[in-house]
């Protein structure tokens, strides 16, 4: 197993997760659909997960992979809460466009 991860050079993991993370960030910033934004957040989390797994493997230390499980649990919970919020928003305003949600202040 270690070998299969380590068969790819470390820098490539870094590059890939950077790309994924940037795509996630840009998606969050540029897209207006809340569902897509949620997905982009997942993408960012997974970019970090990927990096953690690879680094953990290279370093020979399992702590990183423990964190990945944490993040996955948190992400699952987040999606559950996020989607529930979105459903209730959709029921109220019949849209998931975040530009409509402009009353989020005091």
Partner 1 sequence: MTETVIQTSNLFTPTILIPLLPLLGFIINGLFGKKLGHASGWIATTMLLASFACSLFLFFHLPAGGSETVVLSNWFYFKDIFIPFAFLIDPLTITMLLVVTGIGSLIHLYSIGYMHDDEGFSRFFTYLNLFVFFMLILVMGNNYLMMFIGWEGVGLCSYLLIGFWFKNQAYNDAAKKAFIMNRIGDLGFLVGMFMMLFHFKTLNYDQVAIGALNLGIGNITIVGITLALFIGAMGKSAQLPLYTWLPDAMAGPTPVSALIHAATMVTAGIYMIARSNILYSLAPHTLDVILIVGTATTIFAAIIGLLQNDIKKVLAYSTVSQLGLMFAALGMGAFESGMFHVVTHAFFKALLFLGAGSVIHALSGEQDMRRMGGLGKYIKITFATFLIGTVAISGIPPFAGFFSKDEILATAFEHNKIIWGLLSFSSMLTAFYMFRLLYLTFSTSFRGTDEVKHHIHESPMVMTLPLMILAVCSIVVGFIGLPPVLSHTHSFKNYLSSVFAQSKTIMPAGHEMSHSMEWILIGTAVGLALLSIAFAHNKYVMQKQTPVEDEQLSGLSKVVANKFYVDEIYNAVFVKPIMLLSDLFLVIIDKLIIDLLVHAVAFITSQVGRLLRLFQSGHLGFYMFAMVISMIILLAVQIFVVI
Contacts 24+ apart (CB under 8 A), 89-94: 89/34
Compute the least distance from the CB of residue 32 to partner 1, in Å: 7
Stretch that binds partner 1, among 2-10, 49-57, 65-73, 98-106 (CB under 8 A): 98-106
Which one among 20, 21, 37, 38 touches partner 1, defined by CB under 8 A?
37
DSSP calls for 80-106: HHHHHHHHHHHHHHS--BGGG------
Tell me the three state secondary structure of residue 33. strand
End-to-end CA distance of the chain: 52
- Cα(14)–Cα(32) distance, integer angstroms: 28
Query: Does residue 94 bind partner 1 (CB under 8 A)?
Result: no
Stretch that binds partner 1, among 28-36, 52-60, 61-69, 70-78 (CB under 8 A): 28-36
Query: Does residue 84 bind partner 1 (CB under 8 A)?
Result: no
Contact present, 56 and 64 (Cβ < 8 Å): yes
Which CB sits closer to partner 1, 59 or 101?
101
**Total of chain residues touching partner 1, rule CB under 8 A:** 13
Which residues of this protein are in contact with partner 1, per CB under 8 A? 25, 28-29, 32, 37, 98-99, 101-106
């Amino acid at each position: 197993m270690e070998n299969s991860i380590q068969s790819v050079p470390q820098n490539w993991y870094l590059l890939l997760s950077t790309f994924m993370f940037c795509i996630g960030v840009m998606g969050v910033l540029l897209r207006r659909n809340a569902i897509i934004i949620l997905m982009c957040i997942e993408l960012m989390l997974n970019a970090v997960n990927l990096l953690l797994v690879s680094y953990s493997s290279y370093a020979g230390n399992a702590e990183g992979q423990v964190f990945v499980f944490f993040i996955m649990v948190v992400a699952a919970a987040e999606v559950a809460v996020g989607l529930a919020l979105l459903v209730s928003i959709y029921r109220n305003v019949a849209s998931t466009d975040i530009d409509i949600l402009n009353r989020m202040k005091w």
